[in-house]
Amino acid sequence: MKKNHILILNPSPKRLRALEVAKEMNLKISIADTKLNPIFQNYINRFIDIDLTKIDRTLSVLKTEHEKESFSGVITFLDRGVEPSSIIASNLGLRGNPLLAAKATRHKYLLRETLKKNGIKQPRFQKVASYEDFVEAADYVGYPFIFKPVGSASSKAIFKVEENTNLEKIYQKMLIASDPSLDLMFSLYPNTYIVEQFMIGNEFSVEGVASEGEIYFAGITEKWKDENYFIEQKHLFPARLTEFDENIIYSTAKSALSAIYWKCGAFHLELMLTHDGPQIVEINGRLGGDYITTHLVELARGVNIIKASYSAALGLPINIKQKWDKGACVHFKFAHREGVLKSLNGAEHLKDSPHIKDIIFEKNIGDLIRLPPKKFDECRLVGIVTQADTSEQALNVADVSINQITAEITD
């Protein structure tokens, strides 16, 4: 039987490239979501109306659809689809990860406990379910520390807590920032948090795919984050690392993935390179976002990691062989005040540069702009994607280019 029918759970418009790759592979595409975004209409063969938060109903619908025309594999590109993807794969007899592995990529405390049991170096940590727990965790972990929900993603609701911080005030801030009624992301594992020792070092992410239990690394991304709320500002691929540091990062990543039994599909593993070596920040059970896998990996290495992730889900051979050796970067422009976006200027002068491969507008004129901690995903305005002969050159072009863009925001 031909392995060409892929079931995609809740795709994102930002990952339209993933649908394009599926078409290039001549896959039959079924999308399962609560509604069909019109942007996907010309890419798919079938839409299945389901709500992934209602997993029993979802399984019932998908079993019926599977009997009509069987799926060859299931995949997700968003965090909220990782656990449902595992459950669906298990129930339909498709390739996937054990549920415990999927949960470890979504529940930050479970991940920490799993890594601890396997002797993998990491910061001190403690689970928090009340203000009393929070005070106790602060005393145990020590200052400064990171305070975040166990089910968060996309750098949302992450607070750095210094020794002179009012703990009661920061706890109340967290309750507001992680309210599920304001962001459905926090409906998974609500009202449960983790306190982690603050790690000092440079942050990286490892991009790759697992298939039949074998790990394939596509490369390492260098990352920059906002110091207050840890919102990602820019990414550089491949990272500027010595051979020694690159090898030790890969070794740590492989040990962590083995510890959680990650067997099938893409991963985006974040870690800090500290003076004590690499320490895991978190493991995401999907492709890296922020245009890392839709743009940077392919621009820098000629590696189609999206195709590799489909191949893993379908049981096809994995090919992440490097085709060329370049560098690629994405740098974002942020708003520094709240209000209504009146204008974005400067991008038109950048379009003719041979090193600028994409200018991605994330906000439109007239959009309301709010800043963290009110909203964590409304302050990023535009991203510049660059490619050059080296990572250093790609970074320099991105840094210079982003400063040529100006934004006007009014009350």
Q: What is the CATH number of the domain that holds 53?
A: 3.40.50.20
Distance CA 64, CA 50 (A): 12
Residues 242 and 160 in one domain: no
Based on the domain organization, do 193 and 208 belong to the same domain?
Answer: no
Task: Give the pLDDT confidence of 236-252 residue by residue, as tens digits.
Answer: 999 999 999 999 999 99
- Per residue in 55-110, pLDDT (tens digit) is 999 999 999 999 999 999 999 999 999 999 999 999 999 999 999 999 999 999 99
Phi-psi region of 214 (alpha: psi -120 to 50; beta: other; left: phi over 0): beta
Both 215 and 298 in one domain: the answer is yes
| 215 and 301 assigned to the same domain | yes
Q: Are residues 338 and 321 both part of a single domain?
A: no
Q: Are residues 225 and 287 in the same domain?
A: yes
Do 356 and 403 have their domain in common? yes
Whether residues 247 and 306 share a domain: the answer is yes
- Return the pLDDT at 284: 96
Distances (CA, A) of 194 to 129, 145, 146, 186: 9, 10, 8, 14
Q: What is the phi/psi pair of residue 332, to 5°?
A: -105, 145
Q: pLDDT band at residue 225, thresholds of 50, 70 and 90?
A: very high
Q: Is 162 left (phi over 0), alpha (psi -120 to 50) or beta?
A: beta
Residue 22 has pLDDT above 70, yes or no: yes
**What whole-number percentage of the chain has pLDDT above 90?**
86
Asked, for residue 311, whether it belongs to a domain, the answer is yes
Its pTM stands at 0.94
| CATH number reported for the structural domain that contains residue 349 in this entry | 3.30.470.20
**pLDDT over threshold 90, residue 226:** no
Q: Does 317 share its domain with 205?
A: yes
Same domain for 387 and 336, yes or no, is yes
What's the order of all strands across the beta sheet hosting 46-49?
A: 46-49, 28-33, 5-9, 73-76
C-alpha neighbours within 13 Å on the C-beta side of residue 260: 34
pLDDT tens, 98-122?
999 999 999 999 999 999 999 998 9
Domain assignment of residue 146, yes or no: yes
Q: Are residues 208 and 189 in the same domain?
A: no
The pLDDT, as a whole number, for residue 1 is: 53
- Asked if the model's pLDDT at residue 234 lies above 90, the reply is yes
pLDDT in tens, 150-186: 988 777 889 999 998 899 999 999 999 898 887 777 7
204 lies in which domain range? 200-325
Residues 227, 332 within the same domain: no
pLDDT grade for 132, boundaries at 50, 70 and 90 = very high
Residue 115 is assigned to a structural domain of this protein: no
